[in-house]
Amino acid sequence: MIIAVDGPAASGKGTIARALALHYALPHLDTGLLYRAVAITVLRADGDPADPADALAACAFDDLLLGDPELRSEKAGAAASVVSAHPAVRAALVDRQRRFAGQPSGAILDGRDIGTVIAPEAAAKLFVTADPQVRATRRHAELAGRGASPGLDAVLADIRARDERDSARAAAPLRMADDAVLIDTTDLNVAEAVAAAIAAVEAKRG
């Protein structure tokens, strides 16, 4: 069973994907980390995330980087949304994601284009969203908990800019798959969001 979980920044898709992975005992891949790793590799090489050649070269990043706390920063998220718009970068990361999805056990992947591009055959597709103000408040609290404290306004502006870039790009834009189930977490706590996700997957499994 492949479960695709897509949605914008801080919608709660990662939390839902991790909870589903535990519930169904399936391996989970946070695909945003791959784009964040490309972004940080470009920045550390003093490259330009908007330059397609710089971004493509960084796709050969060292896997050890995937555990680096700097990947979780808003700077990495913003640069990830720039490198991820290059079609060559997306192409360079497709195989790795499809191999993960194709494991015999099945898998859960979360990102922006799992249900539309990476695993259109997924048994269940969830599109997780929430009001931008609520998403900014969540991300702001998360960053503050890690000792990084950009203002709430800055976090909201970053989330809006990322939503816009991720939705407007030509290559695999952020879009709900036609057969996805929408989960709006604006008024849901984590337990309620996870329960809604499990119910949606169960309904798809029949």
Q: Which residues bind ligand CDP (CB under 6 A)?
A: 7, 9-15, 31-32, 35-36, 77, 80-81, 84, 111-113, 138, 142, 162, 166, 185, 188-190, 193
Backbone angles phi, psi at 107, to 5 degrees: -165, 165
Q: For residue 79, give the 3-state DSSP assignment.
A: helix
Contact 66, 37 (CB under 8 A): yes
- Whole-number minimum distance, CB 206 to ligand CDP, in Å? 26
185 is in an annotated binding site: no
**At CA 183, angle to CA 113 and CA 36, rounded to 5?**
35
- Supply the minimum distance, in Å, between the C-beta of residue 181 and ligand CDP: 15
Nearer to ligand CDP, 188 or 206 (CB): 188
14 assigned binding-site residue: yes
**CA–CA separation, 189 vs 205, rounded Å?**
25
Question: Is 204 annotated as ligand-binding?
Answer: no
- How far apart CA 136 and CA 156 sit, in angstroms, is 5
Exposure of 35 in the CB half-sphere (CA atoms within 13 A): 27
Q: Which is nearer to ligand CDP, 24 or 32 (CB)?
A: 32
> Smallest distance, Å, CB 111 to ligand CDP?
2
Phi first, then psi: what are they for 70, rounded to 5°? -60, -20
**Residue 49 labeled ligand binder:** no
Beta bridge pairs of residue 89: none
173 labelled binding-site residue: no
Nearest-approach distance from CB 140 to ligand CDP, in angstroms: 10
Q: Report the residue number whose CB is nearest to ligand CDP.
A: 32
Binding site members for ATP: 7-15
Binding site members: 7-15
